[in-house]
């Protein structure tokens, strides 16, 4: 069965997250619904990670298998025609059968955007905190989380039995005229401690 890798961009505002839920609109659910129209029955889409409700993606990686081979350019065009406007397949390519969107990923990158003042236009893509904060301190403390650290204190209680060691390769705050942006890149993220962009091995890097 041919395997395909896709890189997605989506506006997560109107989704209940990535993972399929029978009674809610999800990114995985919309993709699988579009793929069913190819007449091959149920097709499972595996993502590099699971984003929560309201989380956006600039480069979310996923893969799926089909029973027949379709030219990648034709398949990408068909998927973009069948998916709603808040999902866009940025790229699609054939990959070897051992490629896995989750397990082949080396790094995952998240961006957190804080608005300096309320923005009706940007409210879907930034957060305006209802309290004061010191940006200089925020910039100073990010160096403390670089490298391998135990993030058990930042995740859900039910995750305490899991491996809670994450390796943070990059973490930094930047700013422009209207926003502060926190960027963090790590090998993995835990429940509630993490646009989902992933870097894969060199052979299949987006």
Which of 95, 128, 160 terminates a domain? The answer is 95
Question: Which residues span the domain enclosing 67?
Answer: 3-95
Does 71 share its domain with 140?
Answer: no
Contact 119, 183 (CB under 8 A): no
Other beta carbons within 10 Å of 166: 22
Residue of 57, 170, 181 lying closest to 127 (CA atoms): 181
Q: 74: pLDDT confidence band, cut at 50, 70 and 90? A: very high
| 101 lies in some domain | no
Q: Is residue 27 part of a domain?
A: yes
The 10s digit of each residue's pLDDT in 165-190 is: 888 989 999 989 999 999 999 887 77
Catalytic option among 52, 65, 86, 187: 52
Query: 73 and 35: one domain?
Result: yes
Q: 23 and 47 share a domain?
A: yes
Domain of 87: which CATH number?
3.30.70.580
Is 52 in the active site?
A: yes
**Angle 13-171-193 from CA coordinates, rounded to 5°:** 50
User: 156 near 191, Cβ under 8 Å?
Assistant: yes
**Domain boundary residue among 34, 67, 95?**
95
Of the ranges 29-33, 125-129, 131-135, the best mean pLDDT one = 29-33
Q: Among 54, 75, 73, which Cα is nearest to 64's?
A: 75
Q: How many CA atoms lie within 13 A of 95 on its CB side?
A: 26
**Number of folded domains in the chain?**
2
User: Does residue 64 sit in the same domain as residue 110?
Assistant: no
Last residue of a domain, one of 95, 115, 136: 95
**Same domain assignment for residues 136 and 182:** yes
**Beta bridge partners of residue 141, listed in sequence order:** none
Please compute the mean of the pLDDT values over residues 60-79 and round it to a whole number: 94
Dihedral sign for Cα 33, 38, 42, 48, please. negative
CATH number at residue 177: 3.30.70.660
> d(Cα 140, Cα 132) in Å, to the nearest integer?
17
Element (H, E) at 33: helix 27-36
| Residue among 201, 189, 202, 186 at smallest CA distance from 50 | 189
Question: Of 71, 43, 66, 48, whose CA–CA distance to 58 is shortest?
Answer: 48
Higher pLDDT, 195 or 47: 47
Q: Rounded mean pLDDT of the chain? A: 85
């Amino acid at each position: 069965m041919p395997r395909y890798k896709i890189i997605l961009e989506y506006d997560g505002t109107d989704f209940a997250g990535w993972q399929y839920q029978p009674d809610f609109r999800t990114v995985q659910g919309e993709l699988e619904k579009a793929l069913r129209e190819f007449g091959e029955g149920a097709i499972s889409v595996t993502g590099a990670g699971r984003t929560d409700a309201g989380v956006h993606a600039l480069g979310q990686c996923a893969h799926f298998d089909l029973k027949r081979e379709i030219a990648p350019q034709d398949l990408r065009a068909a998927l973009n025609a069948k998916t709603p406007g808040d999902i866009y397949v940025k790229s699609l390519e054939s990959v070897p059968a051992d490629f896995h969107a989750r397990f082949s990923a080396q790094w995952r990158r998240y961006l957190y955007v804080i608005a300096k003042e309320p923005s009706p236009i940007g409210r879907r893509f930034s957060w305006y905190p209802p309290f004061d904060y010191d940006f200089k301190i925020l910039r100073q403390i990010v160096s403390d989380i670089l490298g391998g650290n135990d993030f058990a204190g930042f995740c859900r209680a039910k995750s305490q039995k899991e491996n809670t060691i994450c390796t943070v390769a990059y973490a930094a705050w930047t700013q422009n005229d209207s926003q502060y942006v926190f960027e963090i890149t790590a090998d993995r993220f835990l429940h509630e401690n993490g646009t989902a962009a992933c870097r894969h091995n060199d052979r299949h890097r987006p």
